[in-house]
Structure 1
Amino acid sequence: MQGELTTLGIKVAPSTVWEILRQEGLDPAPERASTTWADFLRSQADAMLAADFLETNTLNGQRQYILAVIEHATRCVRVLGTTAYPSASWVIQTIRNLVMDLNDADYRARLLLRDRDGKFPALMDEILAEAGIKTVLTGIRMPRMNSIMERWVQSCRHELLDRCLLWNEHHLRHALREYEHFYNQHRAHQALAQAAPLRTVPDPITDPEQIIDLNVRRRDRLGGVLHEYSHAA
């Protein structure tokens, strides 16, 4: 702006230009034109998936690798599988199954965000591309770029894996299915205004007598590791 005015023979100090912009609520041009990583994620949330591996050990001494994806907009998670040997063929078949599940659910993802873990084979990106899903890689050693997926990994560890004695792969698969159902159908999420990915927030109770005389039932999952509370029928 200062330069354009100068070409017209009008001399204006940079501070004057800054003051005019500030009064009008406008940021400097470079800041208006730039897009932050957070802005990018928010703008693409409705069509973005994020994927990651997490690891755990079972009581039989086997190390297990769990692959999961999460929808950015709804926070709905899909535990794709767990294995002691995350070979390229296993990952590729798991991704093929994911693509078929997305098609069956009529979910049109355009982007999949993941890190640069060597367990993700190059062919995986080609399979996703054929389904119209572009792979977006995070920076090296920058887990915050995949923060929504990393937050689910932390929740899964704190609420399940760190609180269970998992005997073997079969037991782990059962526990992950229970946690996936709990996370999607019941667990309240602050980012969703206390709704769950597949459950809306019920209407608040306004009748004082109804609040005083509540009849609530608790359902335990995995022997009491997870609790679900609901009104008695």
Structure 2
Amino acid sequence: MPPTTAELVHDRSLGDLLIHSDVVLDGLDAPQRAARTVLADIHPAPRRTGPTWRAFLSEQATSLIACDVLHIDTIGLQRLYALIFLEHHTRRLHMAGITAHPTVGWATQQARNLATDLGIRMDSPRFLIRDRDSKYTDAFDAVLQTEDIEIIKTPVRAPKANAHCERVIGTLRREVLDHLLIVDEAHARHVLATYQRHYNAHRPHRTRRQLPPQAQEQPLPVLKPASRRVLRTRVLGGVINAYRYAV
């Protein structure tokens, strides 16, 4: 089989009809069923229904947000629930709200707050990725759909389908929550709000070339760093330390 024809067979975007048409245009006299027979022997079958999940996330990153629920246990054995949102392109983190009783009305109000906030921060949010948690109701979805945001539900028991949110929750636990005893809801709200400011303004991200979410461009290189004084900012009493060169 000529190389060009072999490439056609393995092109995942083509079916047997298109492959047969291109083969005929190449000057080969072959029946259509021949292309179908060749494709049938290739496993797994090429995907022709659309882009892969990885490709979709990459192509739509600038208009994609995701959400997940983080639970926090206090020293009084009370469980709190925090709803977080993450912008895929910038990795900007939104702590939408925290409560001990995540009712339908509460979740819906957080969606309204997010829609208002994203209208300012993002040019064209189009998709929201979420899991199938019962906390997300039809009213929650409807608020975002009125803003022309399409809801994409991940498969059942497939946390990797919302990997960005899963990772940021893991980061939050490792960097903050595993080192603090949360007293109550007010304390948890303060901790999450403080971490959000640090995360968005100072924490570098590898996918953004070590830029924090709010940064727009790389800082100017520091000349003679050995002669510059390093300043430390304590976050949450020193649980996190942020460093910078003195001006």
Interval of TM-score (by shorter of Structure 1 and Structure 2):
0.7 to 0.9
1:150-209 CA-partner distances (Å, limit 9, x unpaired): 11111111111111111111011000011001110001111111100012431223x4xx
Structure-2 residue corresponding to 1:204: 221
Structure 1 residues 98 and 6: alpha-carbon distance in aligned structure 2, compared to 1, 3 A threshold: closer
Structure 1 residues 35 and 6: alpha-carbon distance in aligned structure 2, compared to 1, 3 A threshold: same
Q: How far does residue 230 in structure 1 lie from its aligned partner after superposition?
A: 1.1
Structure-2 residue corresponding to 1:149: 165
- Is residue 227 of structure 1 aligned with residue 244 of structure 2? no
Aligned residues: 219
- Is residue 215 of structure 1 aligned with residue 232 of structure 2? no
User: Which is worse superposed, 53-62 or 173-182?
Assistant: 53-62
1:109-150 CA-partner distances (Å, limit 9, x unpaired): 111000001111111111111111110000110011111111
1:47-70 CA-partner distances (Å, limit 9, x unpaired): 110000011101122100010000
- 5 Å-filtered alignment, 1:11-90, equals 30=46, 34-90=50-106
TM-score (ref. length: structure 2): 0.81
Return 5+ residue gaps in structure 2 as ranges: 6-18, 40-44
Counterpart CA distance in 2 for 1:186 and 1:91 is 29
Structure-2 residue corresponding to 1:113: 129
User: Which is worse superposed, 103-112 or 190-199?
Assistant: 103-112
Counterpart CA distance in 2 for 1:74 and 1:163 is 27
Counterpart CA distance in 1 for 2:147 and 2:96 is 17
- Is residue 165 of structure 1 aligned with residue 181 of structure 2? yes
Counterpart CA distance in 1 for 2:200 and 2:84 is 13
SS in 1 for 2:218: coil
Structure-1 residue corresponding to 2:8: none
Counterpart CA distance in 2 for 1:212 and 1:182 is 26
User: Which is worse superposed, 46-55 or 34-43?
Assistant: 34-43
Counterpart CA distance in 2 for 1:222 and 1:55 is 19
Counterpart CA distance in 2 for 1:47 and 1:226 is 31
One-letter code aligned to 2:58: R
Counterpart CA distance in 1 for 2:239 and 2:76 is 21
Q: Identify which of 199, 206, 216 aligns with 1:183.
A: 199
Structure-2 residue corresponding to 1:23: none
TM-score (ref. length: structure 1): 0.85
Q: Identify which of 140, 150, 153 aligns with 1:124.
A: 140
Counterpart CA distance in 2 for 1:97 and 1:137 is 21
Counterpart CA distance in 1 for 2:163 and 2:60 is 15
Structure-2 residue corresponding to 1:25: none
Return 5+ residue gaps in structure 1 as ranges: 19-28
Counterpart CA distance in 2 for 1:11 and 1:105 is 56
One-letter code aligned to 1:100: T
